[in-house]
């Protein structure tokens, strides 16, 4: 009986041992499956890494482009606005014959008081005249600059104008040449004449010269049959001036229109022209630049420079 018991115990031990042996290898495979299943989760990080790259790139592109465009648009006008200002603002002298009263657009009655200031002239003489809108001369009278010879001074005169109706008139004040009697400088103002009051006098403020001649200069010798003329001016009608070359007797021996290069009408600007002339004998002459009036065919303004002319 003891032998059978021993056998049974041995069989039980072997059974237990066999049961224990497979249990040990069964657990490790379970542990090995876990690490082998972990790697499939690794593709997720690449997906997260690529996503920000795609999102960031488009955001950077639109932000930079508009910034450059705005800067370019802002800087360009600034440069273009400052350049013309430097070239179109030369230093100009005071108006050589300045009519301070009556100013443009005034309503005047007889007698018309005309007052102003002027640069020195030959024997300090000036001439004042009144023209109707169609160019008919109503009155002309001399006056003097109230200053020593060679000095700028004031002038004043009263004009007994006789007109029967209200109409536009032009008051001109000019200086003449002692050599040929030609006009050397002229200024004008347009007013409304009324036979009866009330008057409405609008004074004019001092202003720079309307026509300045830079070339030729005083007593410069011009030859070769062409006079080069440069200056800065305000033109009354369509930016157009007329340049005349006059001989020693005041005869016009060359003439040419010129356009003032200004940005808009009513704004002064530079002008330049080569004016052909015909001359047989050398002598003194004059270059005159005229602002013509479309209303009566006369002069709104005139400036000149005395030169020496040669064929």
* Closest to 170 measured CA to CA, from 138, 136, 132, 140: 132
Residue 69 to residue 72: CA distance in whole angstroms: 5
* Closest to 202 measured CA to CA, from 187, 192, 211: 192
Fold (topology level) of 210-311: Immunoglobulin-like (2.60.40)
Q: Which one has a higher pLDDT value, 125 or 67?
A: 125
Q: How far is CA 85 from the centre of its chain?
A: 6
Q: Which one has a higher pLDDT value, 178 or 28?
A: 178
CATH value of 89-208 in 3.90.1150.10, 3.55.40.20, 2.60.40.1220, 3.90.1200.10 = 2.60.40.1220
pLDDT at 88: 56
Tens-place pLDDT, residues 56-109: 444 443 333 333 332 333 333 333 333 333 445 689 999 999 999 999 999 999
- The bridge status of strand 221-222 relative to strand 299-309 is parallel
Provide CB contacts within 8 A for 184, sequence distance 6+. Answer: 121, 174, 175, 176, 177, 286, 304, 306
- The bridge status of strand 107-108 relative to strand 183-193 is parallel
Judged on CB neighbours under 10 Å (0-12, 13-18, 19+), 217 is exposed
Q: Would you kindly state where each structural domain of the chain is located, as residue ranges?
A: 89-208, 210-311
What does the DSSP 8-state code read for residue 109? -
pLDDT at 144: 98
What DSSP string runs through 155-173?
Answer: EEEEE----SS-EEEEEEE
CB 300 within 8 A of CB 189: no
pLDDT higher than 50, residue 185: yes
The phi, psi pair for 220, rounded to 5°, reads: -65, 145
CB 101 within 8 A of CB 115: yes
**Helix, strand, coil shares of the chain as percentages rounded to 5?**
30, 40, 35
Q: Where are the beta strands (DSSP E) in 125-251?
A: 125-132, 137-144, 153-159, 167-176, 183-193, 211-215, 221-222, 226-233, 240-246
pLDDT band, residue 307 (cuts 50/70/90)? very high
Residue 115 to residue 113: CA distance in whole angstroms: 7
Q: Is-same-fold flag (89-208; 210-311)? A: yes
Tens-place pLDDT, residues 212-255: 999 999 999 999 999 999 999 999 999 999 999 999 999 999 99
């Amino acid at each position: 009986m003891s032998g059978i018991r021993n056998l049974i115990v041995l069989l039980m031990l072997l059974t237990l041992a066999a049961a224990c042996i497979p249990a040990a290898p069964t657990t490790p495979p379970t542990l090995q499956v876990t690490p082998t299943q972990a790697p499939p989760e690794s593709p997720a990080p690449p997906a997260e890494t690529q996503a920000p790259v795609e999102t960031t790139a488009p955001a950077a592109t639109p932000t930079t482009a508009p910034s450059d465009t705005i800067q370019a648009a802002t800087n360009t006008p600034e440069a273009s606005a400052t350049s013309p200002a430097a070239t179109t603002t030369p230093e100009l002298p005071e108006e050589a014959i300045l009519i301070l009263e009556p100013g443009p657009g005034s309503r005047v009655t007889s007698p018309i008081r005309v007052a102003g200031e002027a640069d020195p002239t030959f024997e300090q003489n000036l001439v004042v005249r009144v023209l109707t809108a169609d160019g008919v001369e109503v009155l002309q009278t001399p006056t003097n600059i109230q200053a020593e010879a060679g000095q700028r001074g004031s002038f004043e005169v009263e004009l007994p104008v006789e007109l029967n109706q209200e109409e536009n008139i032009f008051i001109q004040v000019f200086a003449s040449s002692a050599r040929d009697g030609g006009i050397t400088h002229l200024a004008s103002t347009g007013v409304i004449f009324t036979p009866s009051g009330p008057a409405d006098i609008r004074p004019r403020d001092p202003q720079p010269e309307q026509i300045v001649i830079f070339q030729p200069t005083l007593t410069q010798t011009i030859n070769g049959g062409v006079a080069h003329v440069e200056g800065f001016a305000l033109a009354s009608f369509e930016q157009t001036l007329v340049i005349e070359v006059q001989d020693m007797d005041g005869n016009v021996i060359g003439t040419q229109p010129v356009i003032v290069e200004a940005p808009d009408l009513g704004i002064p600007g530079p002008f330049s022209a080569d004016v052909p002339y015909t001359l047989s004998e050398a002598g003194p002459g004059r270059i005159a630049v005229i602002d013509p009036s479309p209303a009566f065919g006369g002069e709104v303004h005139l400036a000149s420079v005395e030169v020496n002319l040669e064929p």
